[in-house]
Amino acid sequence: MSQELDQRRTADRLLLESVRHSALPGAAILVLSTAGAATGLALPAVLGHTLDLLLSGRPATTWLTACAALTCLLVVVDALDGVLAGTTNARSTAWFRRRLLRHVLAAGPRCTDRVPPGDIVARLVGNAAHAGGAPAALAGTVAAVVTPVGGLVALAVVDLWTAVAFLVGMPVLVLLLKAFVRESGDSVARYQESQGEIAARLVEAVGGARTIAAAGTARREQARILEPLAALSAQGYRMWRVQGRSTAQAAVIVPLLQLAVLAVAGTRLSAGELSVGGLLAATRYAALATGIGMLVGRLNGLVRSRGAARRLAGLLAVPATAHGDAELPPGGAGTLELRGITVARGDRTILAGLDLTVPGGTSLALVGRSGSGKSTLAAVAGRLADPDAGTVTLDGVPLRELPREVLRRAVGQAFERPALLGGTIGGTIAFGAGEPDAAAVREAARTACADDFVRRLPLGYDTPCAEAPLSGGEAQRLGLARAFAHPGRLLILDDATSSLDTVTELRVGEALTREAGARTRLIIAHRASTAARADRVAWLHEGRIRAVGPHARLWQLADYRAVFTGTDGTDHSAHDD
């Protein structure tokens, strides 16, 4: 309950920030809407007075002109208000998307750990658009209140007793609006959650399109993606029911109020205390004072904006990665130390009090069965994730204390499925902090055994990534080239050679040993040959280091061999080095 309350407060603060960001156009909308409301309020009085003049046979040319002018002004103001509201919505939506995208990227992988990528996209696209309507909706709602309040005041000015007749039924209208906001807010929130769930499942399916096609499970996957559709439909119908019920109740209450005002006005007319023009004005002001339809529409927009802002606040609840201002010592060899590293996900402990040292300029292979914590350890070592407990240092400096630029220049990383983000093949290799020149890009590609296939592409290194049909191994080689092109103190390879053929993997492995310079290398290894080329091997088992030593010595242990062969052994005599 406390977390939900905090999220609501964050959402309200976010909406308030957007209103401040759009203060100038919001004020203009408020002025235009208020001017439109004032024009609408002036029109009944002018019409009533004009009617009285016409009935009495007196000249009414000036007042007829005033009626026409007010009508034209009302049309112009409404048109300007519509254009400005649309522009403000677009600008505010862009502000939300920039703010949220900046935070998502700053939070890094921890954001996608908590919220599925498809749901993140749904929030940044759909929910940001709904939240972006808040400044204009708020300004319009404030102005919309002017009409019924002004109508009531004008009604009292025309004839006090007609205003008293209207006030008798006013509490019913207030209760109607309150119930609408409460029920509509809940249904909108649930509707948007279902939208996000469908988007998350759709993105998963698109990413696994080949697996789905190979398994022949397209129909089953379609049913899985659309499973939340029933909840979405239910909440959609619920929103319509809430709005329909409110409209129906208003359709009953509003005419009754207007009839009450008309009856009192008629009585006052028959008593000679109200003119025919006054009767017309009173009738029109009663209609304006009961303008619940306009107010419900404005409130509905605010309810949608607030519901969307709550989902955006869920992304902001994921903390961004904080950085310090420390500097690495000059000439450091890249010594990596992990002390007391503990990482938990829910009830599961992935790494438990782990200690590990990788001397500068050496290579260490991480091996272990699936689920032993290798990728988590690699993420913590490169500060793509922070441990729940413990410290990671590079040349004696905690990674938490390094500025972002210093950290990313010092640590290079390559992954099993690299993202090709540079626009072109050459741009992909150069992508990162401190982009290298063309010569360095080509040298890195040669080191990663990528230069040959890149040169065969239509435009070579200038080939757009979208026009380059790459195999999994070719994409991995580009990821390796990107890591090689950004020299630093530490290089982390997270299963970055798994899709390479044996010959290429051997050549890349030799390059890591021969051409990586003084860089420290942390390599997740699934092949015995990869582990054998490393200076030392760290054997992970259930989140702990079971042994550290040369591959040749560990290979004497049956349990260690079973990590690579998939068979179990009986030798449990391994000890830490």
Tell whether 309 and 265 lie within a shared domain.
yes
Q: How wide is the angle at C-alpha 167 spanned by C-alphas 164 and 169, nearest 5°?
A: 125
Please state the separation of Cα 137 from the chain's center in Å.
22
Q: What is the pLDDT of residue 3?
A: 66
CA distances, 167 to each of 149, 178, 370 (Å): 11, 17, 72
Tell whether 124 and 201 lie within a shared domain.
yes
User: Final residue of a domain: which of 316, 347, 382?
Assistant: 316
Output the DSSP codes for 185-197: HHHHHHHHHHHHH
Tell whether 185 and 228 lie within a shared domain.
yes
Q: Is 326 part of a structural domain of the chain?
A: no
Stretch among 345-359, 495-509, 521-535 having the lowest mean pLDDT? 495-509
Q: Is 327 part of a structural domain of the chain?
A: no
Give the residue carrying structure tokens 């590609």. 445
Tell whether 127 and 247 lie within a shared domain.
yes
CA distances, 25 to each of 75, 90, 139, 536 (Å): 20, 12, 10, 63
Q: Residue 341: give its domain's CATH number.
A: 3.40.50.300
User: Final residue of a domain: which of 316, 347, 376?
Assistant: 316
- Render pLDDT for 136-148 as a digit per residue (tens, 0 to 9): 888 877 777 777 7
Cβ–Cβ under 8 Å, residues 534 and 523 = yes
Mean pLDDT of 37-57: 81
Tell whether 45 and 139 lie within a shared domain.
yes
Two tokens, residue 303: 């309810």
Of the chain, the percentage scoring pLDDT greater than 70 comes to 90
- Render pLDDT for 53-84 as a digit per residue (tens, 0 to 9): 888 888 888 888 988 998 898 889 888 888 88
Average pLDDT of the residues of the chain: 83
Mean pLDDT of 287-296: 64
Candidate ranges 106-115, 235-244, 377-386; pick with highest mean pLDDT: 377-386
Q: Is 321 part of a structural domain of the chain?
A: no
- Is pLDDT of 545 > 90? yes
Q: Is 91 part of a structural domain of the chain?
A: yes
Tell whether 84 and 16 lie within a shared domain.
yes
Q: What is the pLDDT of residue 576?
A: 36
- Is pLDDT of 516 > 70? no
User: Final residue of a domain: which of 258, 288, 316?
Assistant: 316
Tell whether 453 and 306 lie within a shared domain.
no
Domain housing 58? 2-316
Tell whether 96 and 212 lie within a shared domain.
yes
Tell whether 68 and 167 lie within a shared domain.
yes
Stretch among 14-23, 330-339, 568-577 having the lowest mean pLDDT? 568-577
In 3D space, the residue among 457, 453, 501 whose CA is nearest the CA of residue 481 turns out to be 453
- Is pLDDT of 459 > 50? yes
Tell whether 127 and 224 lie within a shared domain.
yes
Q: What is the pLDDT of residue 251?
A: 63
Q: What is the pLDDT of residue 398?
A: 95
The number of distinct structural domains making up the chain is 2
Can you tell me the distance from the alpha carbon of 198 to that of 569, in angstroms, rounded to the nearest whole number? 45
Tell whether 341 and 202 lie within a shared domain.
no
Stretch among 23-37, 95-109, 199-213 having the lowest mean pLDDT? 199-213
Q: Residue 200: give its domain's CATH number.
A: 1.20.1560.10
- Is pLDDT of 574 > 70? no
Can you tell me the distance from the alpha carbon of 525 to that of 523, in angstroms, rounded to the nearest whole number? 6
Q: Is 27 part of a structural domain of the chain?
A: yes
Q: Is 389 part of a structural domain of the chain?
A: yes
Taking the model in full, what pTM does it have? 0.70
CA distances, 236 to each of 200, 241, 242, 297 (Å): 19, 9, 10, 16
- Is pLDDT of 173 > 80? no
Tell whether 260 and 350 lie within a shared domain.
no
Q: Is 341 part of a structural domain of the chain?
A: yes
Q: How confident is the model at residue 488 (pLDDT cuts 50, 70, 90)?
A: confident
Q: How confident is the model at residue 93 (pLDDT cuts 50, 70, 90)?
A: very high
Mean pLDDT of 439-458: 90
Q: Is 577 part of a structural domain of the chain?
A: no
Q: What is the pLDDT of residue 292?
A: 57
